Chains A and B, each alone.
Chain A
Amino acid sequence: GAGVSQTPSNKVTEKGKYVELRCDPISGHTALYWYRQSLGQGPEFLIYFQGTGAADDSGLPNDRFFAVRPEGSVSTLKIQRTERGDSAVYLCASSLQGGQPQHFGDGTRLSIL
Chain B
Amino acid sequence: SQQGEEDPQALSIQEGENATMNCSYKTSINNLQWYRQNSGRGLVHLILIRSNEREKHSGRLRVTLDTSKKSSSLLITASRAADTASYFCATDRNSGNTPLVFGKGTRLSVIA
Which residues does A use to contact B, with CB under 8 Å? 4, 31, 33, 35, 40-45, 48, 55-56, 59, 91, 93, 95, 98-99, 101-107
Say yes or no: B102 contacts A102, CB within 8 Å: no
Say yes or no: B2 contacts A42, CB within 8 Å: yes
Q: How far is the CA of A98 from the CA of B35 in the complex (A)?
A: 17
Q: Specify the chain B residue showing the minimal Cβ separation from A34.
A: B99
Q: Specify the chain B residue showing the minimal Cβ separation from A47.
A: B99
Q: Specify the chain B residue showing the minimal Cβ separation from A6.
A: B42
Contacts A42-B104, A101-B33 given; does A56 touch B97 at CB 8 Å: yes
Q: Specify the chain B residue showing the minimal Cβ separation from A4.
A: B42
Q: List 19 A-B contacts (CB under 8 A).
A: A40-B104, A41-B2, A41-B105, A42-B4, A42-B102, A42-B104, A44-B102, A45-B101, A48-B97, A48-B99, A55-B97, A56-B99, A59-B99, A93-B43, A98-B98, A101-B45, A103-B45, A105-B42, A106-B42
Q: Specify the chain A residue showing the minimal Cβ separation from B6.
A: A42
Give the tally of cross-chain contacts (CB within 8 A): 60
Tell me which of B41, B88, B92 contacts A106 (CB under 8 A): B41
Chain A residues within an 8 Å CB radius of B100 = 33, 43, 45, 102
Q: Number of contacting residues on B, CB 8 A? A: 25
Say yes or no: A99 contacts B42, CB within 8 Å: no
Q: How far is the CA of A72 from the CA of B29 in the complex (A)?
A: 28
CB-contacts of B55-112 with A (<8 A): 88, 90, 92, 97-105
Say yes or no: B99 contacts A45, CB within 8 Å: yes
Q: A72 to nearest B CB, angstroms?
A: 16
Per-position binary interface string of chain B over residues 22-43, scored 1 when its CB falls under 8 Å from any chain A CB and 0 otherwise: 0000000011010100001111
Contacts A42-B88, A42-B104 given; does A48 touch B98 at CB 8 Å: yes
Say yes or no: A99 contacts B30, CB within 8 Å: yes
Q: Specify the chain A residue showing the minimal Cβ separation from B40.
A: A106
Other than A93-B42, A106-B40, give 19 A-B pairs with Cβ distance below 8 A.
A31-B98, A33-B99, A40-B104, A41-B2, A42-B2, A42-B4, A42-B90, A42-B102, A42-B103, A43-B100, A45-B99, A48-B97, A48-B99, A56-B97, A99-B92, A101-B33, A101-B48, A102-B45, A104-B35
